[in-house]
Structure 1
């Protein structure tokens, strides 16, 4: 496995993070479910994974070796446990009645408290997803984490005065995130937002600028390009606020690129690659 890691140019640690360090990651697993094809909850074009596909994803999860993984498009803890060994990870998911749920895989031994789902992200009359909200109770203090999967279809368009239906919905979700960030700033608690934002945020991006109005933030992916499936702009982001901005070591940003490169493998694995960063906690 170490030889493979060298071949794909990744920096992967197979030992647990030290007590003063956390490895955070986000991973959209693309309709990960154990439901059979034809299930009424699934679109007709969704192909459920075979056992060997789940085994391969599990291999990548072990290679990722993160302490906390924000998950998107995962149909709950049963299928999550097929990818993340349950003897190593515990799971928390939102209560949304959808297949594409948001949640966390958290390394066992870390004390985690579930907060109420950020249901404002669902938006009335839509089937959008709420945010998964947890607090890590660390020896160094509390760390609040929010996992999100925002509206697709407005990666770089204007948030106002646009014909794209998705953009007003993303703008409404932005307001909810601003409120959550402002609350954390008022509490004085370090926090990190992670997930699939479905938005490129580089340059003079209105979404990014508006989020920064709620609190000073550090986006780890700023100014970077992702090598996932041929490369492109990041839509999966890790964003720190409060004291956590000083804990993030941005040079540890990594994208775990799949060894497989064909389109068939993309469907069997995920159209997103895991994105991770390390956080050094205060003494």
Structure 2
């Protein structure tokens, strides 16, 4: 009888909590739009994807199977829904009046709290003919742990140039990194686990002066550090995922992946000139 009672007591003990695996991905979809050729909002040389191409991309989304996908260069929710269907994903996009919008697709078992768009990333003056993109700022939660997440698409053209260069792209990127510093300082002050992911248009490394400016404000983990991307035959990363606060310890070892396109007819025009970059986190 004593052994039976001991066994029943053992069964009633609470089991240790299991960490929730969260797959984060960032993906620039390269001018994803449903507008017809000749639309005045579109350049003449952008990709023209057919219904077959969109279905093919949707299959790649299913293969990626990420819990959270931050995306760039998508022309509104209708276009995004062609790749990230409901109820598999819920969608949020910035409120920018541009074709190349930033957004996020999140699986329904996670809760999303939306914060104000980070409009400070549009460092151009009011009335500029081509405004820059805001950042999408959200908190993702599984009910136990929360992750503050900023999805960005920064100014192109300052790939690995010094920040002191006076060409138009580098001063603009410097100003955008100042806005990122401000956002990081707020997260640091609040003690939040956070991530910044997206198309930085910068070949960030642990010694890059742009990355070092962010490190002045908080310790960060550059998950792409030390690696090259196999996308379209090999290139340096410009799509990155940065982790800060407690999230730095959530990264699963060796979980960085780049999903490449394997179809015989796949080209940057029919799929995208960027490949999805993903990591796995263990949420406590």
Question: Quick check: TM above 0.5?
Answer: yes
Q: How does 1:94-109 map to 2 (within 5 A)?
A: 94-109=94-109
2:66 aligned residue:
66
Q: Give CA-to-partner distance per residue, 1:237-277, whole Å, 9 cap, x none.
A: 00000000000114110000001466x72111100000000
Equivalent position SS for 2:97: coil
How much does 1:136 deviate?
1.2
How much does 1:154 deviate?
0.2
1:193 aligned residue:
196
Q: Give CA-to-partner distance per residue, 1:188-208, whole Å, 9 cap, x none.
A: 010000100000112531001
- TM normalised by structure 1 equals 0.90
- The farther-off stretch of 63-72 and 203-212 is 203-212
1:227 aligned residue:
230
Pairing 1:273–2:275 present: yes
Contact 1:72 1:196 in 2 (8 A): yes
Equivalent position SS for 2:82: helix
RMSD between superposed Cα atoms in Å: 1.4
2:163 aligned residue:
159
Structure 2 distance, partners of 1:184, 1:261, is 44
Contact 2:206 2:225 in 1 (8 A): no
2:183 aligned residue:
180
Q: How does 1:23-102 map to 2 (within 5 A)?
A: 23-102=23-102
How much does 1:95 deviate?
0.2
Pairing 1:147–2:151 present: yes
Q: Give CA-to-partner distance per residue, 1:83-139, whole Å, 9 cap, x none.
A: 112120000000000010001000112110110000000112351100001011332
Contact 2:89 2:107 in 1 (8 A): yes
Q: Which runs of 5 or more residues in structure 1 are unaligned?
A: 1-17
- TM normalised by structure 2 equals 0.90
Q: Which runs of 5 or more residues in structure 2 are unaligned?
A: 1-17
Structure 1 distance, partners of 2:218, 2:173, is 19
Structure 2 distance, partners of 1:164, 1:267, is 29
Structure 2 distance, partners of 1:158, 1:260, is 38
Contact 1:117 1:131 in 2 (8 A): yes
Q: Give CA-to-partner distance per residue, 1:41-91, whole Å, 9 cap, x none.
A: 101112331100100100100000000000100111111111112120000
2:12 aligned residue:
none
- The farther-off stretch of 133-142 and 47-56 is 133-142
Contact 1:37 1:46 in 2 (8 A): no
Structure 1 distance, partners of 2:95, 2:143, is 29
Equivalent position SS for 1:225: coil
Q: Among 208, 211, 218, which residue is 1:208 paired with?
A: 211
Structure 1 distance, partners of 2:47, 2:187, is 39
Structure 2 distance, partners of 1:190, 1:202, is 22
2:8 aligned residue:
none
Larger % of strand: which? 1
Equivalent position SS for 1:202: coil
Greater Rg by CA: 2
